[in-house]
Chain A
């Protein structure tokens, strides 16, 4: 078998033992890698109802066949677990040198199980796995942790670590890697923290198994060059993703004031142009020639690397329009190892709940200094407020009550990314049907919706586009494991990806082969949720109710007086379910599951709920 190492490293943190397991072609061809591998392992090995922060949960690190191979944007790794934020399937990807090292060490995935009794970090070098006490770095942020480990192992190794957020089981803690970014929005860092695993250091020295190594190397290097060239010609990375802020502000889709407003006259103060002008450094993931990370100096003088989601959720959604202060909040999230989106939304919800009189408190929109303090309290679970904030918006709203659930901006417990869908039915559907909760990652349909459809349409074309994007973004790029940006931002044709895949594996697959795998993974992700919540119905796929509330309509601007309509949104959900072959509850039917070769999985889910 070429393209896969065929090995999974299983590490038991309770006993500090490990073994190397093998897998064959059947598993590889059915689930491919990354999200596919992680999902299948979690499905097979987790009992429903387990505590996501207990020893029974498993932390999966998984790469795909083209990950780490020199080719456009292949430096990404998937991290996954049962989410402590949502209780459902949780994953994310991050750019890291660990990707290439993991493959060179001879593995396609690592499964961490059990729970260490003391803080440790792990060093993996090929077949060697060593366990070290982490007392010196426990309690430290991700920057210091990385520095500490780089001093010992050198800068060339791959490091994945958590900060204080993960240690203290903040439910939206992420895993960070300084050579790239952070990943695992639905609290995957908290799962790592619950296992008392502060960091993973990986170094590999074996060749990555590639069917056509010379052909792949030539093609990959040439394509990296071409992607870099297109990036230069189009100027995409002048502002990278941050240009989106101005666009969202123009079309009334910007999160402002806990998403109660959709545009703001001061938005320009934190836009991509200001950010580019303030740039002091540029960062990127390994194997990338379009490096999208724009670093600025924050209010305290740290270097802070920002993208659109950061300025949207930590800036406009909190009514903070001072760029250096947004930089500070972002730096703190990165250092504490917190998801910037969930952190920003959680603070915005807290300010809103205070403003509505649902809870007493001193925090106000626009107060950057207080926001910094609150982030520290949330990361460390300090006091009643710190604990409340550390649990995320859904749990906070349940604790606060007084109708605050309506403006708790999450789907399935995961806070909504920086697109205000007060009047964007298609993008609201993308959030509603994202298999993680309120994430933009799987389907970013908003530009299609505004440019190519009527904004007020709830028609089947929007459902079809959401599914098409999910197949590509949430499927293909998450299981072969590569960054989607060359395709979506530079128009790098999708046909390149089967070409890379085939050169690496020696197979002869087409994009159609990939779509079936995407659909299989989406069906199993839904089964994962249903097994956890057997009373599943479509209301779990609903976005926040405030988007349907006419009293929340904009008073001025492009969508004045308009909000989503629930009966029409239900029709849109019907289109989506029908096109996917799912029933009216949003669960794949028997026929669909059979067609996707999910017979065993179907039998398992039927122990909990009857399929149609």
Chain B
């Protein structure tokens, strides 16, 4: 198992019921699989970063990774 810290941003917090949590997943879990485990509409446009860098859905995660999931913002 690997530990992934999931950080949610904006209204995604209200959908999932938490803003930051460390979750356990099997080794080699992909970004997509983490997203699928969350109660967030997969169709909803979002930006996902891994340790602050953009990440592709199929990328495999490593133990200790931080995944930030945000709606698309366009500025104040």
Residues of chain A touching chain B, judged by Cβ–Cβ distance below 8 Å, are: 234-236, 238-239, 241, 243-244, 246-247, 250-252, 272-273, 307-309, 417-419, 440-441, 444, 446-447, 450-451, 455, 484-485, 488-489, 491, 557-559
Contacts and interface: CB of A to CB of B under 8 A. Distances in A.
A246 B70 contact: yes
Nearest to A454: B54
Contacts of B52: 250-252, 557-559
Given A234-B71, A238-B10, A488-B74, A447 B53 contact: no
A234 B43 CA distance: 12
A559 B54 CA distance: 12
A451 to B, nearest CB: 5
Contact of A236 (B15, B49, B66, B71): B71
A251 B11 contact: no
Contacts of B3: none
Contacts of A238: 10-11, 14
B10 to A, nearest CB: 3
A282 to B, nearest CB: 15
Contact of A243 (B10, B44, B45): B10
B7 interface: yes
B36 interface: no
Contacts of B74: 444, 447, 484-485, 488-489
B32 to A, nearest CB: 16
25 contacts: A234-B44, A234-B71, A238-B11, A239-B11, A243-B71, A244-B75, A246-B70, A247-B70, A250-B7, A250-B52, A250-B66, A250-B70, A251-B52, A252-B52, A272-B9, A308-B75, A308-B76, A417-B76, A440-B75, A444-B75, A446-B75, A447-B47, A451-B47, A485-B74, A558-B51
A455 B10 contact: no
B10 A272 contact: yes
Contacts of A236: 10-11, 71
B75 A243 contact: no
A309 B66 CA distance: 26
Contact of A250 (B44, B49, B71): B49
Contacts of A485: 74
A440 B9 CA distance: 21
B55 to A, nearest CB: 10
B28 to A, nearest CB: 23
A123 to B, nearest CB: 33
B35 interface: no
A419 B7 CA distance: 20
Nearest to B55: A451
A485 B74 CA distance: 8
Q: When A and B form their complex, which 10 residue pairs have the shortest distance between CB atoms, in order from nearest?
A: A558-B52, A243-B10, A235-B11, A488-B74, A444-B75, A241-B76, A308-B76, A250-B68, A309-B76, A247-B70
Contacts of A239: 10-11
A447 B46 CA distance: 10
Contacts of B44: 234
Interface in B39-65: 44-45, 47, 49, 51-54
A181 to B, nearest CB: 11
A308 B19 CA distance: 18
Given A235-B14, A243-B70, A558-B51, 15 more contacts: A235-B15, A241-B73, A243-B71, A247-B10, A247-B73, A250-B7, A250-B52, A251-B49, A273-B19, A308-B76, A417-B76, A440-B76, A444-B74, A447-B74, A488-B75
Residue from A234, A252, A455 having most chain B Cβ neighbours under 10 A:
A234
Nearest to B67: A250
B31 interface: no
A484 B76 CA distance: 10
B27 interface: no
Contact of A234 (B11, B19, B75): B11
Contacts of B13: 273
B38 interface: no
Contacts of B73: 241, 243-244, 247, 447, 489
B49 to A, nearest CB: 6
B72 interface: yes
A483 B44 CA distance: 23
Given A307-B76, A489-B74, A243 B11 contact: yes
Contact of A450 (B15, B47, B71): B47
A184 B31 CA distance: 43
B9 A246 contact: yes
Nearest to A274: B19
A293 to B, nearest CB: 11
Nearest to A248: B73
A484 B74 CA distance: 9
A451 B53 CA distance: 9
A330 to B, nearest CB: 13
A246 B74 CA distance: 14
Given A238-B14, A444-B74, A450 B54 contact: yes
Residue from B15, B45, B71, B76 having most chain A Cβ neighbours under 10 A:
B76
Nearest to A238: B11
B76 A243 contact: no
A557 B74 CA distance: 23
A50 B69 CA distance: 50
